[in-house]
Amino acid sequence: MKTKSIKKEYTISGDNILEVRDLQVDIKMDDYVLNAVRGVNFSMKKGETLGLVGESGCGKSVTSKEILGINPNNCTGRGEILYRTKSGKVINLLELEKDGTVYRALRGAEIAMIFQEPMTAFSPLYTVGNQIGEIIKLHDPKATKAQIRERVLEMLKKVGIANPERRIDQYPHEFSGGMLQRALIAMMLCCNPDFLIADEPTTALDVTIQAQILELMKSLQKEFGMSILFITHDLGVVSNICDKVAVMYLGQIVEYGTAKQIFHDPKHPYTQGLLKSLPKMDSSREEQLYVIEGVVPLPVNLAPSCGFAKRCPNFIQGKCDCQNISEYEAEPGHMVRCVLMEREEQKDE
């Protein structure tokens, strides 16, 4: 299938590898349209890790899949997703045909994704080595069987799988959950991508294996120089692995900054609520965890307002419920989408 013609030349600032500008994704249902992503903006540098956090239904996975071009056909994306290829050319991924040759060449070789459930990423009918080798064969058709097998063994060793000479010929059901997640990481990194999307990669693992996987990802990132978009509900994981954090709610990024800014000086009431809900080591058994009241609303026919207004303890009638909220810069690089910041600006003046 042919790709769409590129409409214009694009540029992105500095050493950024990715810039997402005003991304909007609508999901067409039978009776209504879900506004799943509503004007998302963020950028990433080479070798940087960005944590994308928020409750289920906030649009995190839809955003990441739109970057990779794998959202279902009932999803429509608008805006710009600018990506700097290995050759240095900047392209808008939204201009490419999802099944076109350009996008297919990018997937795996330049942009890869680790999914939440490794059991669903591997076919039970083929060996793990065979499936990892298919990725290499796809992007390097001149490689011989012996060369492919050698590269697969090398990657299995890199991700810490013991006895890779035996494991390469085993089937997915013969691997434990942690080993299969390692094999999935090996599959995604076998072509040395520049940009990795990790969508809840440690959720299904116990805490010991989770820590091992996180250390593995950090060491491989350092070795390969990858940028990682890390999607998770676990703020403890974010503090351990991420350079920057974007807090997402109802299809919008409500706070964005460095990990230090987000964890030590959160400004948005939603971010503050997420951090307060974390269990504390010094809390008593009788002390109840903090809970953000309510649930994420369905993003259908949304009126101009703050999406978090109905759940916010700092709700201001006539402000939060009657206008779309602008972004404010709390400090350099620390952006907050909240009317409370407007008051802070007025105080400073």
Q: Is the distance from CB of 51 to CB of 218 less than 8 angstroms?
A: no
Q: How do beta strands 49-53 and 244-249 pair?
A: parallel
Q: What pLDDT tens digit does each residue of the chain (349 aa) get?
A: 444 444 578 888 888 999 999 999 999 999 999 999 999 999 999 999 999 999 988 999 999 999 999 999 999 999 999 999 999 999 999 999 998 999 999 998 899 998 877 778 889 999 999 999 999 998 888 999 999 999 999 999 988 899 999 999 999 999 988 889 889 988 888 888 999 999 888 776 777 877 888 888 888 888 888 999 999 888 888 888 899 999 999 999 999 999 999 999 999 999 999 999 887 776 666 777 788 988 999 999 988 999 999 999 999 998 898 888 989 999 999 999 999 887 665 555 5
pLDDT in tens, 320-331: 988 889 899 999
Predicted structure pTM score:
0.88
Q: What's the confidence (pLDDT) of residue 3?
A: 46
Q: Which two tokens stand for residue 326?
A: 């602008």
Listed in order, strand segments (DSSP E) in 162-292 are 195-199, 227-232, 244-249, 252-258
**Can you list the alpha helix ranges (DSSP code H) found in 122-176?**
128-139, 145-158, 164-167
Residue whose pair of structure tokens reads 């064969």 in the numeric block: 137
34 has which bridge partners?
A: 27
Element (H, E) at 28: strand 16-28
Q: What's the confidence (pLDDT) of residue 306?
A: 92
Distance (Å, whole) CA 106 – CA 85? 8
Q: Is the distance from CB of 86 to CB of 194 less than 8 angstroms?
A: yes
Q: What's the confidence (pLDDT) of residue 192?
A: 85
Query: Apex CA 89: angle with CA 112 and CA 148, to 5°?
Result: 40
Distance (Å, whole) CA 334 – CA 257? 4
What are the angstrom distances between the C-alpha of 39 and each of 27, 33, 134, 239, 337?
Answer: 15, 16, 37, 26, 12
Q: What's the confidence (pLDDT) of residue 7?
A: 58
Residue whose pair of structure tokens reads 């006539």 in the numeric block: 318
